[in-house]
A and B are shown apart, each in its own frame.
Chain A
Amino acid sequence: AQSVTQLGSHVSVSEGALVLLRCNYSSSVSVYLFWYVQYPNQGLQLLLKYLSGSTLVESINGFEAEFNKSQTSFHLRKPSVHISDTAEYFCAVTPGGYNKLIFGAGTRLAVHP
């Protein structure tokens, strides 16, 4: 069975700091990888996804994630966070060609002045 583990349920950083949100997955089949973001009182939005090709993927708002097959990881980072990045971040996979998102438990990121 596939599973997704996000290390750290809460992360608190200062504005302008580097943030790293960790995601590891387990799967016996190939997977596609996603990061979704949930701003307060809203639904989830796709932040970025890895399907194939370059292992480093970027979002339009400065986040990036790197797929590491040997470590089964897809960590998300941003070199300099802004207060508006305060949200909950979910790592997810779709295993074996099926359109079924399997989510991690989420990491709540708080960015303070």
Chain B
Amino acid sequence: NAGVTQTPKFQVLKTGQSMTLQCAQDMNHEYMSWYRQDPGMGLRLIHYSVGAGITDQGEVPNGYNVSRSTTEDFPLRLLSAAPSQTSVYFCASSTGGWYSSTDTQYFGPGTRLTVL
């Protein structure tokens, strides 16, 4: 199994540009999520999905959109990038759903995004 994969690894955008961060998992996990990691703040939940066609907002959803058309893929879209979105983005997945609070989450290697 490849686990959780993310592309690209690095990206530089100009303010106002849009882009999609890709995330895929091959473990047939129902639950997938996106976090951003900022220095001194740990990781914060952006959006999550408990299955294909079901998504919801996390702690810091503004400026980001998600969709889940398949179990495997969970892309994160930045519609109009802002410098405040400069961060490292991690995708994660786990077997259970929203009420499976004991699950281990498996993280991808991250995408480092810089918005100028």
Using CB atoms and an 8 Å cutoff, list the residues of chain A in contact with chain B: 4, 9, 32, 36, 41-46, 49, 51, 90, 92, 94-101, 103-106
Contact = CB atoms under 8 A, between A and B. Distances in A.
A104 B37 CA distance: 11
Interface of B: 4, 31, 35, 40-45, 48, 58, 90, 92, 94, 96-105, 107-110
Nearest to B6: A43
Interface secondary structure of B, over-half rule: loop
B97 A99 contact: yes
A32 B43 contact: no
Given A43-B107, A44-B107, A99-B31, A105 B99 contact: no
Contacts, number: 64
Given A43-B110, A44-B107, A45-B107, A97 B42 contact: no
A100 B48 CA distance: 9
A93 to B, nearest CB: 9
A103 B104 contact: no
A36 B105 CA distance: 10
A98 B94 CA distance: 13
Given A99-B97, A99-B98, A99-B99, A43 B40 contact: no
